[in-house]
Amino acid sequence: MKRTSALRAAAAALLLTVGLGAAQAMPASAVPTAASPTASAGLLDAMRQDLGLTERQAEERLAAERTATRVESAARKAAGGSYGGSWFDAGTGRLVVALTDHAERAEVEALGADTRLVRHSAAALDRAKARLDAGSAPSGVAGWHVDPRSNSVVVTVVRADRDAPAVRAFVERARATGPVTVAETAAAPRTYAAGTVGGDPYYTGNVRCSIGFSVHGGFVTAGHCGGAGAAVRGWDGSAMGTFQGSSFPGNDYAYVSIHSGWWTVPVVLGWGVTSDRLVRGSAEAPIGASICRSGSTTKWHCGSVLAKNETVNYSQGAVHQMTKTSVCAEGGDSGGAFISGDQAQGVTSGGWGNCSSGGETWFQPVNEILGRYGLTLHTA
């Protein structure tokens, strides 16, 4: 059986927990309900280390985030055309919904959310961002996204290049499309593939990446790790599978089918930092929620969701509809799993910084990948 001892242990724990026939598949189009299992000591320790929370604060935050995730879809529907976006406020432990009209305020607040009056709807901001997506950007522009908290499109520029003529010209064009806020970042984003080294990865040619989430028949990962048709080797160097579909740039996702002798389980490795996490669905966490990442280089780290639907301007080309986080990552972590509680969120794409000094990392949302290839997430 071609797995590391960690995966064998994870599989054994899964069988003991849910039984041989209990793992149920969920269609990619379904919106699962977040479960509320007791958080492991390891997960709480990771949140204490990376988010600066006490054990009690971490438990309370996880519970509040599960509630916010459930409220968000109902609040969006209730707000209708007045919807200006939403985010989780860690200070109050509640979802905040931006509205362009007070008329929907009572209905939204009755669902358990706070409200904030804003000028621009989410639809209007999305249209402004789409106009930027239709063009190209210089290397000194790191990316752009709709930010519901500032009710604007945030254009992020590399601090050292902020006064470059091409960057200034891009910002001027961006401001002509709609409400724009300019932010700065320390470095340009890059993908997190790496040369071949030991560990618990998969390999394509001389590139090492990390498995994202198990699907029936294989797993999902980052598109920049390999093109369609590329052969994949497992951690032991033996033939593991083949890239059946891959997209990069534009997107950064891929689907790998696995050969006989390899098998999948609905587990994300905790690498001894936390217990291995069972995957129970893919309910999307709101902006502001805590989130953790598992990868073959830097193992397990946590942070928060900073932005959604961001266009990231890599040197290879722009990638759209990415989610930005405060979680660190390094080379070889590409393709690895982002998870919030027990809900799959996405696969690691790239970022800037490292896990010694910190940084930011983006992921491609998993539900988009499942829908693109018609896959079914393997859930517990």
d(CA 185, CA 215): 35
Closest CA to 331 of 351, 301, 358: 351
User: Looking up tokens 């033939």, which residue turns up?
Assistant: 239
d(CA 288, CA 167): 29
Q: Is 296 among the residues known to form the active site? A: no
Backbone phi, psi, residue 373, to 5°:
-105, 5
Query: Choosing from 50, 89, 147, 252, which is the catalytic residue?
Result: 252
Max CA-CA distance within the chain?
Answer: 62
User: Looking up tokens 């986080």, which residue turns up?
Assistant: 325
Q: What dihedral do alpha carbons 239, 240, 246, 249 form, nearest 10°?
A: -80
Query: Choosing from 334, 340, 342, 349, which is the catalytic residue?
Result: 334
CA-angle at 189, arms to 188 and 194, nearest 5°: 125
CA-angle at 123, arms to 121 and 127, nearest 5°: 120
Beta-bridge partner residues of 350? 191, 362
Q: Is 252 among the residues known to form the active site? A: yes
User: Looking up tokens 């018609």, which residue turns up?
Assistant: 374
- Give 86: exposed, middle or buried? Use CB within 10 Å, 0-12, 13-18, 19+: buried
Q: Is 257 among the residues known to form the active site? A: no
Query: Choosing from 224, 301, 320, 378, which is the catalytic residue?
Result: 224
Q: Which residues are catalytic?
A: 224, 252, 334
